[in-house]
Amino acid sequence: MPDTTPSPVVRAFFDRPTGSLQYVFHDPATMRAAIVDPVWNYYPEAGAVSTHSADEILAYIAAEGLTVDWILDTHPHADHFSAGPYLKEKLGAPHGIGDKVTGVQTLWQEMYHLPDLPTDGRQWDRLFAAGDTFMVGNIPVSVMFSPGHTLASITYVAGDAAFVHDTLMMPASGTSRADFPGGSAEDLWNSIRAILALPRDTRLYIGHDYPATGAAPQYMATVAEHRLTNKHVKDGIAKAEFIATRAARDETLKLPARMLEALQVNIRGGRLPEPEADGQSYLKKPIGRFDPR
């Protein structure tokens, strides 16, 4: 029988300074769309922000004549600010994330000493639980809980495409780190095996790539390709071997350059702290909380 799984059109957008991939997917029959993991550009050397990446997405949406139904975060990112609130203001679409984000908020509220920060997820319009479903046009979207990289990570499976965030890299690079607070290599393994149990022709869209200067990013491989060639999790690699490999790799990694700024914005749903008496917003860093590498 022919495959009748709906197939969304997917357009990737790349933020080279952070290696972050953002996506717009849409139903070609209805032109209804969703945005996944949009970037609000942050320049740490100047303490400045811009909407360059989000405006590129808006231009594409306008040019294609799309109607956006959802703005979706897969998790609170550690390397870029979420542009969800900005795009919600421009498009009127609701902003969603996984319901375990409340655990990330609680964890980082303490690290930043933010006793007045609400940690019930109210900063988003929808908190998705594992197994939740919704439609984007005629494309059914289901939510998988995919912890490991963070304790709140989710995957959006949209027809024959899945947005797997920072679980997998491209097969030649393997998988993403699991050493952030709340992360777990064992949880990451279990999440990836669930993703790799999807139909073999499912297109998996990853969260990051780090190509050489001037080279284009790679961002999609199928379940079958990952199971055959992913250097960390291809078929035949055992759980214990993966955990040992992931732990050894993570011990060599520095913290993302924007992490301490990004998480205090992203636990607010992509918003800066409230301005102080002088009308200026300020970000703060916990000193001595993390070891240098």
pLDDT in tens, 133-185: 999 999 999 999 999 999 999 999 999 999 999 999 999 999 999 999 999 99
CATH topology of domain 9-256: Metallo-beta-lactamase; Chain A (3.60.15)
- Give me the residues paired with residue 49 across strands: 42
Round the average pLDDT of the chain to a whole number and report it: 96
pLDDT surpasses 90 at 105: yes
Instruction: Output the pLDDT for position 249.
Output: 96
Which carries the bigger pLDDT value, residue 79 or residue 1? 79
pLDDT surpasses 70 at 4: yes
Instruction: Output the pLDDT for position 289.
Output: 87
The proportion of the chain whose per-residue pLDDT surpasses 90, expressed as a percent, equals 95
Q: How confident is the model at residue 59 (pLDDT cuts 50, 70, 90)?
A: very high
Region 54-59 average pLDDT: 98
Is pTM beyond 0.85? Reply is: yes
Region 182-190 average pLDDT: 97
pLDDT surpasses 70 at 49: yes
pLDDT surpasses 90 at 27: yes
Distance from C-alpha of 141 to C-alpha of 133, rounded to nearest angstrom: 5
Instruction: Output the pLDDT for position 293.
Output: 67
263: which residues sit within 8 A by CB, 6+ positions away?
Answer: 76, 78, 104, 108, 112
pLDDT surpasses 70 at 215: yes
Instruction: Output the pLDDT for position 2.
Output: 53
- Give me the residues paired with residue 154 across strands: 145
What single string gives the DSSP state of each residue in the chain? Answer: --------EEEEEEETTTTEEEEEEE-TTT-EEEEES-EEEEETTTTEEE-HHHHHHHHHHHHHT-EEEEEE-SS--SSSEE-HHHHHHHH---EEEETTHHHHHHHHHHHHT-TTS--SSTTSSEEEPTT-EEEETTEEEEEEE--SSSTT-EEEEETTEEEEETSB--TTT-B----STT--HHHHHHHHHHHTTS-TTPEEEESB--PPTTPPP--EEEHHHHHHH-TTTSTT--HHHHHHHHHHHHTTPPPPTTHHHHHHHHTTTS-PPPP-TTS-------TTSS---
Q: How confident is the model at residue 230 (pLDDT cuts 50, 70, 90)?
A: very high
Instruction: Output the pLDDT for position 291.
Output: 82
The proportion of the chain whose per-residue pLDDT surpasses 70, expressed as a percent, equals 99
